[in-house]
Structures are given as C-alpha cells and as structure tokens.
Amino acid sequence: MTASPRLDLRDGNTMPQLGFGIWQVPSDTAAEVVESALRTGYRLIDGAHVYGNEKGLGEGLRRSGLPRDEVFVTTKVWNDEQGRDKARASVERSLETIGVDRLDLVLIHWPVPSRDLYVETWQAFIEMRDEGLMRSIGVSNFNADHLDRIVAETGEAPAVNQIELNPKMQQPALRAANARHGIVTQAWTPLGNARSFDATAIEAAAKRTGRSPAQVILRWHVQLGHSVIPRSVNPERQAENLAVFDFELTSDEMAAIESLDAGQRTGPDPDEFGLM
C-alpha cells in the first residue's frame, strides 16, 4: 500500500498531499467507492454538501474500519449558504450527514463576489474553527484579490486554497499569491480531463519512467508541492493514481510540462461564477 506524504498547514495541522475526490461520484455508490479508496491507501477524502453524497462518504469511512483520526475529511459550504448563520447551518448539517463530530477541513466553495458574503462567511469559519467544529479552514476557487481581502479584513489566511490546476491551466500568479500567504495550493481536476495526455512532454516522460500519463501529471503536481485530489471509481485506477511517490521527473521534464500552460479552464471563472 502506497502512503502519501503529509503537507504542513499554516495553522499547525497537517494533511495528506494526495487525496481522493468524490465530485460526481453517485450517491448510491459513494460508500463503496470511498471504502475502496481508503482500503487502497488514501487518507484524505474531499467532499462537499452540493455533491449530494456526504452520507455515502460517512458510510464508506465507517465501513473501512479505520480510526477516525487516520482519515482527513474535507467538505465545503456552497454558494447560496454563505453568510454567518447559513454557513454555520451548512457545517452542522455536514457533520450530521457524514456522521462525525469534527471535520478536518472546511472550504468556502466559491467566493461569489456578486453576493459579497465571503468575508462574513470567512469570519464565521474562524469562529467555528475556534469552537472545534473543524480543525482547519480554507477556501476554494479564490483569486488573489479575494485572498488579500479576507486576510486584510480578518487577519487570518486560509490553510488551503483549492483551485483548478492542471498542465493546461497552471495559474502561476495565483499559486504565488497562495505561497505569499502561506497557503497550501490544492488542485482540483488535476488531470485536466485528460486534455494533455497526448502532449509530447507527457508522453516522453511516461515512456522514460514506464508510467501512465496520469501518473506523470500527478507526479508533476507532487513535485511542485501541491496537494492533489484525483478521482476514480475503478479500484485499479485508484491504486495507479496513488502510486506516484516512487519515481521522479527530471528538471527538463518539469520544464516541458510547464510549457503546456495555455490558461484553458474546464470550469467557470471565479470572478463571474454565482449561484447554481
């Protein structure tokens, strides 16, 4: 079983560098998929209430037989539940639905600047963290100006900023902003929907290392220091995605992958995305 290294968070906690995402995992199979991932060796499960499968997340956690403190559980507060009272209700519902007494990380899912509630929501997160509802607090899809504002108005930076990040969408300026605040960058859609699997840089590294294109890309993330949350409902693919800690890419291979950046999103622009 492959074990993921852990990353230090700015609040003194740690998190597994490579975890398992459950976006688009059907609710009726989520327990089975989460149990499989945990038995494969994953120790971070990234969920969200809006995914509709938090009950399965909790059931899979219990079926795994692992002690609660061995699994890092993340959830998120959705766009229409921002604001102090709604955010608290969302977190309390997730605790009940998953069936845990404390979450390891809770993220603001999107900033939704058109509603102008993300600072108030962040303040509520600080309060709930201090009360013990979650160990760490962070954000998702926040741009540099959103980060600067919550830090300026509350005095506290997120532990994590989960952003779209893959070879076709590398966001170097935002990653630098995260680093400036001591924030861990976590990549969603880390494989970019396979858009770069056939790129010469990826194929060449895969050939040299004897690894798959997906493993090469996940290793690229790991060497950059990102946290990364791939997803697969296939147990063999789950194991393959986790097996990226026993080889390295060369500096030339890293540079070749860096050259693939085209600023191409697969998801929405955080400055424009609103309610859904």
DSSP-derived secondary structure letter, 87:
H
What number of CA atoms fall less than 13 Å from residue 213's CA on the CB side?
18
226, 230, 236, 239 alpha-carbon torsion, rounded to 10°: 30
Query: Quick one: which H or E segment has residue 129?
Result: helix 118-131
CB-based burial label for 11 (10 Å; 0-12, 13-18, 19+)? middle
DSSP-derived secondary structure letter, 232:
-
Active site residues: 51
Indicate the pairing of strand 6-8 with strand 14-16.
antiparallel
**Exposure class string for 215-224: b at 16+ Cβ within 10 A, else e:** bbbbbbbbeb
